[in-house]
A and B are shown apart, each in its own frame.
Chain A
């Protein structure tokens, strides 16, 4: 269902549901993913991984592997060039510590988690490469690991990175060294953020009810279907070509080039189809290693991860330990909030605690609030981004606490949220004020939905509500649209397509030019084929690349208007263009269709190519409100989801089917996060469930049909009113389900996942307490 706040603006293509341009190739298996690359003379790389969660590497002996027939090269961390430990900007406000990133690709002096890459070999077959790994001798000094944020922050905890920048540095993010060689202080707290607005102490004094609770979430994996794979070919002319699965070919290029100390122009990254990323395919893991092996052998080298390697080395999201406190007046007005979030970063800095702190209470107008965030190292795989990084865990805490307060006040949970809803002008905890937003409209749509108006009857059933917020991002983007003489357009843009961006890119062009979407063939260009385009992340692709395509189409329109004017011998201002037809305003009836004029391009001046490179602003944030009904089996603790409705302010849905798909996908992942998924470690730090047999992803039996309500409050910052839509749907589900379980059982669960055992324990504890 779609509810449009601005129904007067009419589009011909925007808002329709054309068939996806990549559909046929994908359903017939012809689409080429990174593992499908096979080159003449190609070698196979395999990576030796640490069996210890924390160990000093005293020596690595590669000679045994190198002596094995069929093995052509072996590398360790010493083969990576030394890079600075200072943060660097990769041009997208995505700051990286290259030293840490390099060490995560190949360890140097320490192994910091089970699965940490220690060495790699290249051989003529994957089986030989695997055998060769067993011949590498590594002398470890095993150290005590720390596996939780609480243990890591304890007095005398083992220090994971000895030269980490001190936490007291006021504005610094994600660790790093203030200057190379700076070794002032030992800590596992990589960073600390504090945001405050108003005076929380005063706010709590004004409250009639104050609740304070603690929450825990486990690390969960993004669970993309396609494991990472990279093939690198370091040619004799010094150029390096990489085929890989990523969310940003330019980021892969720049990170690989930086780690190998190569000019970016020497590296070409060819983006393959991507089988899911959800934020995790924004960093390099394999690319520099495959490149090193290729340089040593002079042959292309492919490294393809197995699922267990994905779990143990290619970043989950953080587990979190959180405390939250909220005060309310009896009239339902929130007076103050205070929270501390400790996010586990894994073995290197960079948890998403900074966005978590800023998103936590963002849907609400709270005059006095303070949120503190800690980025804490543990001996686990370095985390990477996962859909709305930081916001889902934070919302689990804030939204369940708010639900408890609504219950105590005897207020309907949506009404309670309405009384406190953020609106244009509301300041978040970081003091930034909102522009036009659609949160209140989302609450109204949820309240008025068929789902919410339908009574929930039956024993052991409960209904939960939760809201979510995400900032959305933007960035530079490029597009080139070439008009073919048959009137069709070849469109090259730079956003790897993880959620339908090729379709929406083509729709922007079709809308401007008044031609069918099917007449446009969109292609994602490699780093030598298209201008710089920032990573497909932050829900930015449709916004920024759509904008670039809109501008490229307008460039075509301008050029063809001039061609038509020259053809008719009139001024460009005397040519109108509408519905795919150029009209001579000086002479009624003289018209040229787009197709006709396209066919005349060589006789009117040559090829017509529209180009655009943009850096758009105005992405605008997103809000969501979810409603879920559950039934809890009182004998087993199993939670069954009965009905789920997700409401979201989408600005303008360019392709509603894709938007609905994004929302449904986010909810499905949220169901897993809420009920099933968790990284389980033994005391030595070994992951106990690194396969899909043991790591419980939701299945079709767990997830019902997810109803969606698209609330369209147009984003004034985009030509067609679009907002990013891909991330916020994963923010509310854990809290919404927890609230439903709480109302179904009469007891609140404050730890994820709400697995049957945990739910049953809570039910039994409540019964025991009488």
Chain B
């Protein structure tokens, strides 16, 4: 089971659940699992079948470049974070 961390600002949509375990092989499946448990959360994570612009996903601490198609392992940690750019 992957461990999914809910961004602080989305906690109102999960009734305060900050992390949970989900069976999922991709980030898309993670979000589908979240939507099943917390209807309405998807629209804050996905836009036009892509990760919401300005949002990044980190799997096992590494920012993904594959977005929704990023693979998630059985013991992976998944975080949704604001996208950052350096100087």
User: A residues bordering B, Cβ < 8 Å?
Assistant: 86-89, 92-95, 170-174, 176, 192-196, 278-280, 282, 354-355, 358, 370, 385-389, 430-435, 470-473, 476, 537-540, 615, 617-618, 724, 727
Minimum CB–CB distance from B7 to chain A (whole Å) comes to 6
Closest to A281 in B: B87
**A-contact 0/1 string along B62-87, CB 8 Å cutoff:** 11010000000000010111111111
Whether B54 contacts A432 by the Cβ 8 Å rule is no
Contact A87 B53 (CB under 8 A): yes
11 A-B residue pairs with Cβ-Cβ distance under 8 Å, sorted by A, are A95-B53, A172-B52, A176-B53, A195-B7, A280-B87, A354-B84, A358-B84, A370-B8, A385-B85, A538-B84, A724-B86
In the bound complex, how far is the Cα of B85 from the Cα of A93, in angstroms?
7
Given contacts A431-B79, A618-B62, whether A170 and B9 have CB atoms under 8 Å apart is yes
CB neighbours (8 Å) of B86 from chain A are 279, 385, 388-389, 470-473, 537-540, 724, 727
Closest to B86 in A: A538
Q: Specify which of A92, A172, A278, A358 is in contact with B85 (CB 8 Å cutoff).
A: A92
Choose one: A94, A278, A386, A470; the contact of B83 (CB below 8 Å): A94
Knowing A93-B63, A193-B9, A194-B9 are in contact, say whether A173-B83 is a contact too (CB < 8 A).
yes
B55 A279 Cβ-Cβ under 8 A: no
Which A residues touch B54, using CB under 8 A?
87, 95, 171-174, 176
A560 to chain B, nearest CB (A): 32
The reply on B10 being an interface residue by CB < 8 A is yes
Whether B87 lies near A278 (C-beta < 8 A) is: yes
Within 8 A of A (CB), among B11-47: 13, 18-19, 44-45
Taken together as a complex, chains A and B put the C-alpha atoms of A118 and B52 apart, in Å, by 33
Which chain A residue has the least Cβ–Cβ distance from B13? Answer: A170
Q: How far is the CA of A431 from the CA of B44 in the complex (A)?
A: 19
Q: Which residues of A contact B83 (CB under 8 A)?
A: 93-95, 173
Q: Which residues of A contact B65 (CB under 8 A)?
A: 93, 476, 615
Chain B nearest CB: distance from A616 CB in Å? 10
Contact present for A171 and B52 (CB under 8 Å): yes
Q: Is the CB of A389 within 8 A of B87?
A: yes
Select which of B8, B81, B84 is within 8 A of A194 by beta carbon. Answer: B8
Secondary structure at the B interface, as helix, strand, loop or mixed, is mixed
**Interfacial chain A residues near B52, Cβ < 8 Å:** 171-172
A195 touches B84 (CB 8 A): no
Which residue of chain A lies nearest to B67 when distances are taken between CB atoms in the complex? A89
Most B C-beta atoms less than 10 A away, residue of A195, A387, A539: A195
Docked complex Cα distance between A191 and B68 (Å)? 24
Is B56 positioned at the interface, with any CB of A under 8 Å from its CB? yes
Contact A431 B5 (CB under 8 A): yes
Interface residues of B (CB under 8 A from A): 5, 7-10, 13, 18-19, 44-45, 52-56, 58, 61-63, 65, 77, 79-87
Evaluate contact between B85 and A389: CB separation under 8 angstroms: yes
Closest to A724 in B: B86
| Minimum CB–CB distance for A718 against chain B, Å | 13
- Alpha-carbon separation in the docked complex, A628 to B54 (Å): 38
Q: How far is the CA of A94 from the CA of B53 in the complex (A)?
A: 10
Give CA–CA (A278, B86) in the complex, Å: 10
The residues of B that contact A194 with a CB separation of less than 8 Å are: 8-9
Closest to A198 in B: B18
User: Across the interface, do B56 and A93 meet the contact criterion of CB distance under 8 Å?
Assistant: yes
Given contacts A95-B53, A727-B87, contact A171 B44 (CB under 8 A): yes
How far apart are B48's CB and chain A's nearest CB, in angstroms? 10
Q: How far is the CA of A171 from the CA of B19 in the complex (A)?
A: 17
Least Cβ distance of B20 to chain A in Å? 13
Output the nearest chain B residue to A87 by Cβ-Cβ distance: B53
A residues less than 8 Å from B55 (CB atoms): 171-173
B-side contacts of A387, CB under 8 Å: 87
Q: Which of A89, A92, A173, A386 contacts B87 (CB 8 A)?
A: A386
Inter-chain CA distance A344–B84, complex, in Å, is: 17
- Beyond A433-B61, A615-B65, whether A196 also contacts B85 by CB under 8 A is no
Q: In whole angstroms, how far apart are the Cα atoms of A195 and B5 in the complex?
A: 12
Min CB–CB distance B6 → chain A (angstroms): 9
In the bound complex, what is the Cα–Cα distance between A434 and B77 (angstroms)?
Answer: 12
Query: Given A171-B44, A171-B55, A432–B61 Cβ distance below 8 Å?
Result: yes
The answer on a CB contact under 8 Å between A282 and B85 is yes
Residues of A contacting B58 in the complex (Cβ-Cβ under 8 angstroms): 432
CA gap between A539 and B52 in the complex, in Å: 25
For the complex formed, measure the closest distance between the CB of A171 and the CB atoms of chain B, giving whole angstroms: 5
User: A538 with B61: in contact, given A87-B54, A171-B52, A194-B9 (CB under 8 Å)?
Assistant: no
CA distance A174 to B56 in the complex (A): 14
CA distance A465 to B18 in the complex (A): 35
**Interchain nearest-CB distance for B30 vs A (Å):** 15
**B31–chain A nearest beta-carbon distance, Å:** 12
Task: Report how far A610 CA is from B49 CA in the complex, Å.
Answer: 37
Is there contact, CB below 8 Å, between A433 and B85?
Answer: no
Q: Are B10 and A171 in contact (CB under 8 A)?
A: yes
**A86–B53 contact, CB under 8 A?**
yes
For B9, list chain A residues within 8 Å (CB).
Answer: 170-171, 192-194
The interface residues of chain B lying within 8 Å CB-to-CB of A540 are 86
Q: How far is the CB of B42 from chain A (nearest CB, A)?
A: 12
Question: In the complex, what distance in Å separates the CA atom of A727 from the CA atom of B84?
Answer: 14
Q: How far is the CA of A562 from the CA of B76 in the complex (A)?
A: 40
Contact A388 B87 (CB under 8 A): yes
Specify which chain B residues have a CB less than 8 angstroms from the CB of A539 in the assembled complex.
Answer: 86
A473 cross-chain contacts in B, Cβ below 8 A: 84-86
Say yes or no: A430 contacts B44, CB within 8 Å: no
Find chain B residues with CB under 8 A from A279 CB: 86-87
Interchain CB contact under 8 A, B44 and A170: yes
Which has the most chain A C-beta neighbours within 10 Å: B8, B13, B58? B8
CB of B61, distance to nearest CB on chain A (Å): 5
- Report whether B84 and A471 are in contact in the complex, using a CB–CB cutoff of 8 Å: yes
Q: A93-B63, A171-B9 are in contact. Are A193 and B53 (CB under 8 A)?
A: no
Report the nearest B residue to A178, measured CB to CB: B47
Kindly report which residue of chain B lies nearest to residue A475, judged by CB atoms.
B65
CB distance from B26 to the nearest CB of A (A): 17
CB contacts (< 8 Å) of A193 on chain B: these are 9, 82
In Å, the complex CA distance between A89 and B61 comes to 21
CB distance from B86 to the nearest CB of A (A): 3
Most buried by A among B83, B84, B87: B87
Q: Which residue of B lies closest to A388 (CB)?
A: B87
Q: Kindly state the separation between the CA atoms of A434 and B60 in the bound complex, as whole angstroms.
A: 10
Considering the complex, give the chain B residue whose CB is closest to the CB of A247: B87
Minimum CB distance partner of B45 in chain A: A171
CB distance from A90 to the nearest CB of B (A): 10
Complex CA–CA separation, A87 to B50 (angstroms):
12
Contact B87 A435 (CB under 8 A): no
Measured between alpha carbons, how far is A472 from B62 in the docked complex, in Å?
A: 11
Contact A433:B84 (CB < 8 A) given known A171-B10, A171-B44: no
Query: What residues of chain A lie closer than 8 Å to B19, measured between beta carbons?
Result: 431
Q: Tell whether A93 pairs with B87 under 8 Å between CB atoms, given A171-B44, A431-B79, A432-B58.
A: no
